[in-house]
Structure 1
Amino acid sequence: MSRFDPDALRDDSPLTPEKRLWCAVLFRILQDACRELPPKADNAAKVERDQARSWLLSSQDLPVVCELAGFDADAVREAAERLAARDWPAIKLDSPVGPDEKIAA
């Protein structure tokens, strides 16, 4: 996989409840990392956002979580690095991604 592509989960392996859970974990971390905060956001929200960004870029747990979710860890980290290079633009992951759409950061 060369992209962080939710559609890539449509492989021969079944989408088990466990895999769905780990996908949700990854998506939540991406949402947190790309969250737009209002100018008067409290420190807790800023810390949460910054921790998500740091985790995506440097966590040793990322390969395990990606494997459990069915994603390529290198592709996820590369996508995070591209997002970081663009100053973490807001992305929307809570809307359904169709078969012809890809989340390409």
Structure 2
Amino acid sequence: MELQIKNLNKTYSNGVQALKDVNLTIPQGMFGLLGPNGAGKSSLMRTLATLQQADSGSATLGDIDVLKDKAKVREILGYLPQEFGVYPKISSYNMLNHIA
């Protein structure tokens, strides 16, 4: 399943332009995103994982429109960021159920 990203843009409300005309074609396999802090790696991943909206552009995973068919993307994509918040007073079972 190939991932195609075309002219993807994201600017946050504080004016920070995190993604500017990102164009990538990634064939099936394992890949990593490397870059300095502020390069847009997390913004790109959050967008592809349907956790935030892009301002413009397109992204397709196989025949799935990532930006429009979020439910379909979430059926096949897993995303685990380096750091994520948990609720300290919730049970492990309830936390897993919430995340799932």
Is TM more than 0.5 here?
Answer: no
Q: Point out the structure with the larger helix share.
A: 1
Q: Which has the larger radius of gyration?
A: 2
- TM-score, with structure 1 as normaliser: 0.29
Q: Point out the structure with the larger strand share.
A: 2
